[in-house]
Structure 1
């Protein structure tokens, strides 16, 4: 990679942490991104959002002693940067809130805008969008604290918070006695809970990248292999118990169906940068699980591994994302969203 023409190094702020349950995962993503950005091209500024809401500098020192004051100080730092790389996962980051802040401040940033972030974080809204463009989803319904007592068990289901990541609060329920505790656990994370029919199928993920030139590329499919009867839950995601196969062994018909569905979702949600689309591949075709607009971004995360297998190395992937955020059409899109 080379600098952008003869211009000075691009000043990029990399944000990590956040106030969601994915704080530690986000820290790992941010550290990895910062270390992989080419120092010949990029002048990297590290900022972290603590669980307490305070913004902190590279040394871990709060920029001010209250969340509001530290945010104000952070905006000064961000305003001195060319672009922001928000390696934040989950609510109050990936859900469009940070994108809204940066849009208001007119600061370019990597990743999806307000609309796509908010829609994709809301699993119920994502299902509605998917169905509208002809993509199958698992039958399911919403539960809140007001009607949780009305839920009845008559077949295996998956219980999950509507807006959370890394499978926090997700439970597989195969016994009636476990349903109420599962719903209660999910309600501790979000005030809306999604109960879906258990889908029997292979777990296959695809990633869509909008390159700096505006073209779209879909990475090779990744299959997640688990022990029989297990969910790809938080424990499985981070204890090394799951095995990834890249590329997933698929027929041409299966591959094309997954690619078409991923591109359709990327467009319908209005995604930018990179997004990961997670599916169950069933005998009847793909069934959408969820869409992540800021997936894990360490070198060993799923999306970087997919594109590395295709020949796009991790530093080059990050370079594409930053360049894409600085492209003239990207700035116009951010202003509209």
Structure 2
């Protein structure tokens, strides 16, 4: 079965996407005929030799010596003096952050009728912006922590009691995230967050809160859930810990949680997933507070596709490929214009 992994992109998470792609290659290459399509920061596409799928290939710019690809209806193509060669196969969108998770790639794939694994544009927009994610969760009856929104041009007045977390509204991997424990730390935390986004989200920081991760996807009318993971962290998963997390390929242990809590987590996941995220493998991060489940974040393209949470990751990808949403093609036959022309005798 053929599959192309699309990675890179023009975002702060560009390098993380490279790490994810290398990790997923190792998990899928025994079951799939893989191709690798790299999107650089200038939005040029390159076909990468599988043997050169190493981080240093991209940091040294060696990818520029490989074949450039051009997107066309149904897939990508290589162009040369003696004609072109078309690559027609489904795409696994593994571009983290902007481009991959903001709806740009989803729109591009839809526009050119290329089948792909990943969040569709509506799902991307609602999960990429943490403020919109709060709205989505509230509309579905899924609890979230209380929050404030602060824009770059706003006065730096925060009503949330200390301590609280400051995070860029449209960025992942804990980039730009800070815990603010007292007033003297606020300006610095906001300066850091505003380096990455013009909008920040402020939430109460709950020391020692239980956090659980659950991934899954829908195929053939049924959701396949991963195990429930309790991430090992200090105060929160900072960038360095998450960066290492993106290269994980070994399995992890199921969290020591009750069946009742697993049921709650799955019910909340299903409310978020269906039907908006069909066609994607996503991970939801939850808090558990006094027996209640709260959504923390939606990861529409989780690091390394959360492969380590599934017993049969490659089998799951095969299953998902066989159940991708089919966008209805619109055929224009110009009946309206023809009828007007005939009425006018033209």
Range into which the TM-score falls when normalised by the shorter chain? 0.7 to 0.9
Aligned to 1:50: 40
CA RMSD of aligned residues (A): 2.9
How far does residue 127 in structure 1 lie from its aligned partner after superposition?
0.9
SS of residue matched to 1:225: coil
Q: Would you say the 8 A contact 2:279–2:320 is kept in 1? A: no
Aligned to 2:308: 305
How far does residue 284 in structure 1 lie from its aligned partner after superposition?
4.2
Aligned to 1:84: 91
Aligned to 1:315: 314
How far does residue 155 in structure 1 lie from its aligned partner after superposition?
1.6
Q: Distance in 1 between matches of 2:88 and 2:211?
A: 39
Match of 1:184 among 175, 184, 191: 191
How far does residue 152 in structure 1 lie from its aligned partner after superposition?
5.7
Change (3 A) 1:152 1:136: closer
Further displaced range: 273-282 or 22-31: 22-31
Q: Would you say the 8 A contact 2:282–2:300 is kept in 1? A: yes
Match of 2:21 among 13, 26, 30: 30
How far does residue 315 in structure 1 lie from its aligned partner after superposition?
2.4
Q: Deviations over 1:38-70 (max 9, x none)?
A: 56x6432211112343322315127899xxx96
Q: Would you say the 8 A contact 1:199–1:280 is kept in 2? A: no
Aligned to 2:182: 175
Flag structure 2 segments of 5+ consecutive residues without an equivalent: 50-62, 79-84, 331-346
How far does residue 71 in structure 1 lie from its aligned partner after superposition?
6.0
Q: Deviations over 1:144-190 (max 9, x none)?
A: 11114333664211101111111111111111111111112111111
Change (3 A) 1:107 1:234: same
Q: Would you say the 8 A contact 2:145–2:204 is kept in 1? A: yes
Q: Distance in 2 between matches of 1:245 and 1:38?
A: 21
Normalised by the length of structure 2, the TM-score is 0.79
Change (3 A) 1:83 1:46: same
Change (3 A) 1:255 1:11: closer
Match of 2:64 among 61, 65, 69: 61
SS of residue matched to 1:130: helix
Alignment of 1:1-337 (within 5 A): 10-38=1-29, 42-58=32-48, 60-61=63-64, 75-76=76-77, 80-151=87-158, 154-200=161-207, 201-211=209-219, 213-227=220-234, 230-239=235-244, 246-267=253-274, 269-297=276-304, 303-308=306-311, 312=312, 314-325=313-324, 330-332=325-327
Aligned to 1:6: none
How far does residue 79 in structure 1 lie from its aligned partner after superposition?
6.1
SS of residue matched to 1:304: helix
Pick the structure with greater CA Rg: 2
Q: Deviations over 1:123-150 (max 9, x none)?
A: 1111111112221111111111111433
Flag structure 1 segments of 5+ consecutive residues without an equivalent: 1-9
Q: Distance in 2 between matches of 1:62 and 1:102?
A: 25
Normalised by the length of structure 1, the TM-score is 0.81
Q: Distance in 2 between matches of 1:195 and 1:50?
A: 32
Change (3 A) 1:71 1:144: farther
How many residues matched? 305
